[in-house]
Amino acid sequence: MIRQNLVDAILAKMKLITKANGFRSDCGLNCFEWYEKKLEHKQFPAMIIRDPESPSYEESGVFYHSLKIEIDIAVIGKDSVFNNREIISDILKSFKEFKDESNRECKYGGSETLIEQKDFMYGGTRLVFTVEYESPPWEQ
């Protein structure tokens, strides 16, 4: 299960995003895969990692996959905008490390941010990456 191994490796890499490891934030302390519950206040800032699709094609008996990875950031509080930008920077640094260590072709597809202010400030960003990989026929 190459796809699961890649998701596990990305999740493990993102969980290392802490100030103790030289990053700007501690977002790795609240890093989840496909988290579907409402986040509690103590879980902010948070990162949620998803692998929603993996288009593939076959050529000469090999399947070529483009695994889409979405990383959602959730922030809350008066410094939401600044914290959000710090976390984006941390994720980009961490994903580059994953790319270098895995020797996979990885692409950054950009990000989209939404910050709201009602009774308090909150928001987040979705970053999109693609990881290219090969598999034997009829495997992922």
Is 119 inside any structural domain?
yes
Please write the tens of the pLDDT for every residue from 57-101.
999 989 999 999 999 999 998 888 889 999 999 999 999 999 999
For residue 38, count CB atoms less than 10 angstroms from its CB and return exposed for 0-12, middle for 13-18, buried for 19 or more: exposed
**For the chain, how many structural domains are there in total?**
1
Q: Please enumerate, as own/partner, the contacts of 111-114 that have beta carbons within 8 Å and a separation of 24 or more.
A: 113/84
* Rounded-to-integer distance, Cα 65 and Cα 13, Å: 21
**For the domain that residue 78 is a member of, what is the CATH number?**
3.30.70.1700
Is 140 inside any structural domain?
no
Amino acid at site 77: G
Please write the tens of the pLDDT for every residue from 15-71.
999 999 999 999 999 999 998 888 888 888 999 999 999 999 999 989 999 999 999
* Rounded-to-integer distance, Cα 131 and Cα 65, Å: 8
Give pTM, 2 decimals: 0.91
* Rounded-to-integer distance, Cα 4 and Cα 121, Å: 35
The mean pLDDT of 8-19, rounded to a whole number, is 98
Structural domain of 43: 2-135
Is 50 inside any structural domain?
yes
Amino acid at site 44: F
Instruction: Assign 137 a pLDDT band (cuts: 50, 70, 90).
Output: confident
